[in-house]
Structure 1
Amino acid sequence: MPEKLPFEFLFTPEFSRDPYASYDKLRESGPVHPIDFPPGMNAFLVVDHELGRAALNDPRLSKDISAFGAYFRQFAGDDDILFQSNMLQVDPPDHTRLRRVVAKDFTPRRVEALRPRVQEITDELIDAMEMNGKAELIDEFAFPLPIIVICELLGVPAEAREQFREWSGLLVTPAFDQEGTARRRGAARNINAYFADLIAERRAQPRDDLVTALAGSDELDERELLSTLTLLLIAGHETTVNLIGNGVLALLRNPDQLALLRGEPELLPSAVEEFLRFDGPVERSTPRFAAEDVELGGLAIPRGAMVHISLGAAAHDPAVTSLPHELDITRQDNRHLAFGHGVHFCLGAPLARLEGRIAVGTLLARLPGLELDCADEELTWRLTGSVVRGLTRLPVRF
């Protein structure tokens, strides 16, 4: 068996800046590697595209965190329902039931109907930046756009958006000490209390929003309802923030591709798919657990072990992608796994694609001369150990 990767492997600033070089080295010695993450857990990291794709849809690898996720329950606490009772953390048939309740609101047709409103929000945000000639693109654009969209869909008032940003940031960041655990538990309690109040309000005075619709469903118990709303809020904006930020940065670092997209805006759909592959918003899938003894890539994975599938490593696997470290917005056979694969394929993929295309396309159309407003080496990334991959800030001028 290969030597176990240390816990710190995923948490250095160097790795967060460029995880793909590290994954290249790992892939040379095998498709699967034991890793001490979370610390003390029996865990494995998959860095191969085809094996990762198969693992994402392998019924022997469970998402049932109530049965196998003792580690998460220990640090999360009883109030942290993000780690239970939602479609991301269960297997069929519960997964099928929970997903069905929400799926009708995220069909391509329903999402397409949101296009005018997404365009309107995008234009309003650019209006606010345009006269300044510069902006911090994460705080002023990439974050507000998806959080406004998902909050409007849910029925969350505008004044709660910044608070939700703080809470969701804590919930997606691993906590390994008492202070971090306490902050995370506090965020969980706060978001539960907020949604509990909002559910009661909508039951008394229904509106045309998702909270009202889900609160009226007889297929969800109260914990499932709270957990599903929390998941929708977090998944509905955390990843799209990074899709926009990482995608714009990729263009600014590749001026030939930027010029090509400006000249041929019809390439936007394939460009967004390339952003998802080249530097996707989710670095690793949420963990799976071996429900039985499993063999992966020649390694014996014992029952109960945790399996991490690196979507970023899969996207840069030269066995399936030619010149994987080059940005090519005309790439056709784009087999990225940015939205996962199988029964847990991202429900919000159509909305993320719509927001990404409108956001990037409108930025390029309205802000000529868009370029970085800092040295490239000054850019900082959220630590990859938090699963999501995104910039902490992106200063630009135009």
Structure 2
Amino acid sequence: MKRILILVNITGLIIGISYGLHGPILPVFAKNIIGASYSELGLIGLANFIPYMFIPIFVGILLDRFNNGYLLALGATINSVSIYLLSIAQSVPEIMGFRIMTGVAHAFFWPPCESIISNHSKEKDRVKNISWFTMFFVIGFMIGPLIGNAFLEGADVTYRILFQITGFILSTAIISAILASRKSITNHHEKISIASIKEMKRFPIAIILLVFFTSSFGIILTIYPAFLNDNGMSDRDILYLYFVFGISRVVSLAFAGKLSRKTSHTLIAAAMSVSLGLGLSVVSESIITYGIALVLMGFGFSIFFPLTLEIILSKTKKGISGKIIGAYETVFGIGWAIGPTIGGPITQSFGDQSPYIVFGIIGIGITAIAITFRKKLEPKRIQNI
């Protein structure tokens, strides 16, 4: 593996650890310490994801003009500061403000990593390399809750101190990002043009699946921990459950290369898996059944990413790949924003199980769409074999 790909994977691992360390605890902190309602948890999630609806477009343009490694280092810097600042938050609006910063930072993390990997990969290795990067991030996200548990077992470690520790850990990713900048390749094949984003219109079925996966994932990241807490799960139970969630994601990504040979079938299975996991969450009463639900969702939430990205990149000219990646990540942001925006108010109005019922039913419909239009869910290179 090329040195730059190793550096990008290390960066993904560090950022994944930081996300796993504080992410599952933040909704519990907001609910129990700050006093946030479920609607406010939805707003906090929206604040985190709404920048991702717009910023990736502009980052995508920058990717084709500037050193991708420098953009990645900028993202790591903003991210570490935003998480550290959570330690001084005293109100929901303050948390929302800091999560907006995190959302902006994430737009300078994921698209540059994808662009670096795409630019330094042969077409036949692209799914594998993107899957490896995602797997390193998810391994970090899996390890993070265990580290968080170890810290919380210390008598003097509070949620706020945990956020400070997370900020320091994340800041080390700046080093690997700067090192990656020395080897980064920048495309200058086409002029900057927002019009190139219209290329995404050629992938309607992939976009429909992408919005479903990301909106459901947004709920699992922003509201589900509080839901687990209200249903008898302790802080440590929640962290262990997200560790299991991480294991499922890592195992899924480890087989992404083989599963990509049947891209449409895998995406159909992923949609079914997420729907089943959401449905099981409604009837779960123990940590074991919640764990099974998260294992099912972990498969779907991991495997869809490299496969849908490959569908789009395989049918896109390399000269505008940065802009397309930016557009792809913008769709990510739209989905992430939809989940908390809908999930929070639904929970507040109809009960804590309601969003999982609603999105589980939607998932069944999405699965039917994927089955009907499965030929559109195959990358170009697979179709040509």
TM (norm. structure 2) is: 0.25
The structure with more helix, counted as a fraction of residues: 2
The structure with more strand, counted as a fraction of residues: 1
Q: From the CA coordinates, give the structure whose radius of gyration is larger.
A: 1
